[in-house]
Amino acid sequence: MSEAHTTNAASGTSGASGATGASGTPGERRKRLDEPRGVLDNLVFGVRVVLGEIKWLLLGGLRSFELRQLERRLDEERAALGAWVGERMLGPKPRKTMPQPDDEAWLRIRQIGFLQDEIALLRAERGRLRADLLERRREDLGS
């Protein structure tokens, strides 16, 4: 802050103008500084909100892409497990009971479980990220 805009502690007047009344408690001065002062402040506020939304769109888009990839992989693993069961049930010697899973089947079952957990985790993280971005925006923009 320049000397022209400092408050004279002895007289309680502003260095720029004795009639501005810059005296008061720090909370009152902060409140006056936080109040919107015009069109330019509204423009800056709007630009910050738009930039925040663009950031969310990028982060949300990347997270959605990652989720789609994992869901596609989950569908592939489920299809492969179904094919394994189908081969054993309808193969050269058709069965009436479910075959016992071998190592390949157990690997697919564990992979399906892992992918389901990962998808649930990423969805929850996406929700927390959005809530965190909105909270930070409220704090930064004072609303």
- pLDDT per residue as tens digits for the range 37-95: 688 888 888 888 898 889 889 988 999 999 999 999 999 999 999 998 888 888 777 77
* Residue 20 confidence (pLDDT) above 80: no
Task: Provide the pLDDT for residue 106.
Answer: 93
Judge if 111 and 136 occupy the same domain: yes
Structure token pair of residue 115:
């992918």
Q: CB neighbours of 113 closer than 8 A, spacing ≥ 6? A: none
pLDDT digits (tens, 9 = 90+) for 108-138: 999 999 999 999 999 999 889 888 888 888 8
Structure token pair of residue 119:
């998808």
Judge if 30 and 99 occupy the same domain: no
Distance CA 58, CA 50 (A): 12
3-class secondary structure, 58? helix
Domain that holds residue 121: 38-141
Judge if 44 and 90 occupy the same domain: yes
Q: How many domains does the chain have?
A: 2
Backbone angles phi, psi at 142, to 5 degrees: 70, 30
Comparing 105 with 2, which gets the higher pLDDT? 105
Judge if 43 and 101 occupy the same domain: yes
Q: Please report the sign of the dihedral spanned by the C-alpha atoms of residue 65, residue 67, residue 68, residue 74.
A: positive
CA distances from 53 to 24, 39, 128, 134 (A): 37, 21, 15, 9
Judge if 21 and 46 occupy the same domain: no
Judge if 76 and 118 occupy the same domain: yes
Judge if 54 and 95 occupy the same domain: yes
